Amino acid sequence: MFDLELERLEGVWTGTEHVRDGLNEYRSSGRLVFQTIFDGRFLLCDYVQTAPERPTAFAHGVFRRDDHTKALTVSWFRIPTAAGAQPSSAIAEGDKPIFYETVDARTTRTAYVVTLDRLSVCTDRAAGADWKRIFEGTYRRR
């Protein structure tokens, strides 16, 4: 695999999530399946989120190293969509799996941290000079 931090994501993860979208706050269940393809050049992620009284959300992510800039990137295809245009792409600053994405003039930062058999995913939204937590997920490898 092209990146040790991303290689550690490989596998099936299930867990709980806390979502704050500004108007609503809710808990959900999440399942992420990461697999490498094309001799380790890409890491695919299939994601499903379920929550009571909410539509099921699906996403497909493609993690890779950009051929031109060598930056670590991820492109997400989401249903329901996060923006009018698909896909949306995020770029890491450096080699850590911390991705910055701007959609409709809103910037988010998503960090993936693996410790043993536990995965934490946190997303913060830029609020002026500060960041506000809008998503927090904790998963166990199955």
pLDDT at residue 98, rounded to an integer: 93
> Dihedral of CA 126/112/20/31: which sign?
positive
pLDDT at residue 1, rounded to an integer: 44
The per-residue pLDDT of the chain, averaged, comes to 88
CA dihedral (40, 35, 102, 95) in degrees, to 10, reads -40
- What mean pLDDT do residues 64-73 have? 85
Note the pTM of the prediction, 2 decimals: 0.88
**Which residues, 6 or more positions from 55, have their beta carbon under 8 angstroms from its beta carbon?**
80
* Domain 4-141, classified CATH 2.40.128.20, yes or no: yes
Residue 89, both tokens: 């792409």
The span from the CA of 92 to the CA of 82, in Å, is: 19
The span from the CA of 60 to the CA of 16, in Å, is: 19
Residue-range domain boundaries for the chain:
4-141
pLDDT at 48 over 90: yes
Model pLDDT for residues 102-131, shown as the tens digit of each residue: 877 889 999 999 999 999 999 999 988 899
